[in-house]
Each structure stands twice: as structure tokens, then as C-alpha cells.
Amino acid sequence: FLFQFHYREAEDSYNKMDWDKLGFQVIPTDFMYIMKSNEEGTFSNGDLVPFGTVQIEPHSTVLNYGQGLFEGMKAYRRADGEVQIFRPEQNAMRMQMGAERLLMVAPSVEQYVDAVKQVVHANKRWVPPHGKGALYIRPLLFGSGSVMGIAPAPHCTFLIYTNPISNAYKGRHTNSTLSLLIEDTLPRAFPGGTGGVKNIGNYAPVFQVTKEAKAKGFFDVLFLDAEEHKYIEEVSSCNVFMVKGDVISTSPTLGTILPGITRNSIIQLARDLGYQAEERKFSVDEFLEADEVFCTGTAVGISAVGSATYKNTRVEFKTGADTVTQKLFDMITGIHTGLLEDNNGWMVKID
């Protein structure tokens, strides 16, 4: 009965879908994937199941102690109708790194990639038409075993669901620029903490400051380091780059900054184009003298930053067609959607 109910609900939603009006809202698809670790601490026997609610024990560590990770990926429809995903093995390895930090068992790279392929194939009809958006893929890993004391879960659950989204991120179209407020008092992450992994607990603490920034008209918040409050780190949910001449710089991943998959790819593409791409610490003062600034991430893609405000001083950056940002955007978007040749072997086709 529940399967029939969820399927009818999804079918109605699909039949009413207007891909030209697709946004960033919740749209349940047909199937999700679930796999649980066994008593030996390994994963096996994962299954596709109808999309629906998940039963979690009240004593689970994810509910009591926030022991959980998530990943973000996208499936793209090519002009020829085929569907492909971007560097899934990198997300698998990043999940393993985060699981090690939070004392969870994680799927192998092969298990992770196979599960992603299965859930995308099962929800293939939900991948938007070429150029209309992407199917967002959300893998979760969390402590589902029950404990009373503060301790890691005896077993974990790996879950993947999908959601179609447009090319507009949170209502922002790809041709619009970001306005950032530089936060100079509240850090996003601390040395020795979990800022370098996709810990579920990293995000709620910045809700308040980002809400206040958006109430003032800013798109998002750019955070500084926790020790000296002078070095650029990252935005609430994406990495940041600055361009000065032929040099493209981004902050190093030293435990407080997430090693983004898009971030890593952009560094390589920039070098392929002949730019000097570097990972180094740079101050907010140097940042404000940049020619261009852009953000990278799975959800945000590559987005030009039009302005940044620091201590009530607003600085504007170059945007538009004739920019390094646009060149990199065109390259990686072309690779994602099959318009450009994938010389790096990044894309994985879904059968």
C-alpha cells in the first residue's frame, strides 16, 4: 500500500512537471537506495526501495550526537539524451575520509559508485532535459545504531536519494552574480574541528549569520579563519577563488576547508588553460584587491561574485563574458553536459 501511494504521488508530480519552471524545491523521485553495515563493520546487500520515510531508533547516534555525513552530486543529461555523473569516485573517497574522522564505517569506492549508478538509473526519467537542470544526488552516511553513552554507533546506514533541480541555485540564475558579506567575528570552522569533512553538524551553526546577511540583501556569507580573523576561508556551503592577473588562488584545505570536488577540478582546468592556480593563505585585504572572485561547489556550480562587503565597505569585482570565471564555467559545464570532450575521464555514463 505504501509503495503504491508513494509511486502514485511521484507519478502525479512527474506528470505535472514543467521543466522550464523547475526550481530548487523538494521533489520526491521514485526510488532511493539503502545499505546497512553488519556486525563485522562492513556494508553489503544494499537495495533500491521506493522513496519514502526512514525509520530511525531514538537512541541512534545521528539523532543524539550528530554522527553523520552527506555528499552532493549531480547527474546531467547530454544533448544526445544519455545521462552521466561527475567524478563519483572522488565523492566516495571524501566520504571515507569523513567517516574516518567521525568513527563510522563507510562503503567502499566500488560500493558507493555502484549504488549511485543504481539510484540514478532507477530515477532516470527525473533527470531534466539537456540544459534544463540536473538530478541532484544526495548520499548520506549516518550512525543508525543505538547507544546511551557518548560513543560511535555500532552500525551505520548508507542512503541515497535524488531530486531534480534547475540551473538556478536558490533562485539565482546562472547569469546573475553573488553578493557576499564577509563575517569578521563568527568563524565557520575551527582548527581540529570538522570543517574539512562534510559533517552534518557543520551547517546549522551558520544558519543564523546567513539568515541575517540575507535579510540585509546579501546572497551568502564569506568566513574568515578562527584564529586571526584575517585570512579568507570559504562561503557557508562552497569554496571561493580569487583571480589577480594570470594567478588564480584558493585557500588550502588544512582541516577547516572542505576539499571540494568542483574546487579540485577547477584548479586542474585553470592550469590546463595556462593560468597559475595555487592553494595558499591570503588575507581579506588581498582578497578585496582581486580582479575577479568566484565560488565553486556541486550545488552552486561556478558562480561569479559581483561584490563583497567587509566592515561596511563594498568592493566590486569584474564579471561578464570576457572573464576567467566565464571561461572556466563554460569548460566545466560543457564537460558535465557532453558539449565538450572529457579529456580527464571525469564523467561516468549511466547505462
| Active-site annotation holds for 198 | yes
Distance CA 33, CA 82 (A): 22
Q: Which of 16, 198, 214, 216 is catalytic?
A: 198
Distance CA 145, CA 322 (A): 53
Task: Please name which of 96, 73, 94, 72 lies closest in space to residue 84, comparing C-alpha atoms.
Answer: 73
Residue carrying the nine cell digits 579540485? 264
**Count of Cβ atoms closer than 10 Å to residue 121 Cβ:** 14
Distance CA 75, CA 350 (A): 9
- Residue 295 backbone dihedrals phi, psi, to 5 degrees: -110, 150
Distance CA 197, CA 182 (A): 22
Distance CA 44, CA 56 (A): 19
* Pure H helices in 184-305: 207-215, 261-272, 284-287
* Pure H helices in the chain: 2-15, 61-65, 88-101, 109-122, 207-215, 261-272, 284-287, 324-337
Taking CB atoms within 8 Å and a gap of at least 24, the contacts of 109-112 are 111/35, 111/43, 111/46, 111/158, 112/88, 112/139, 112/158
- Residue 103 backbone dihedrals phi, psi, to 5 degrees: 55, 50
Residue positions annotated with a catalytic role: 198
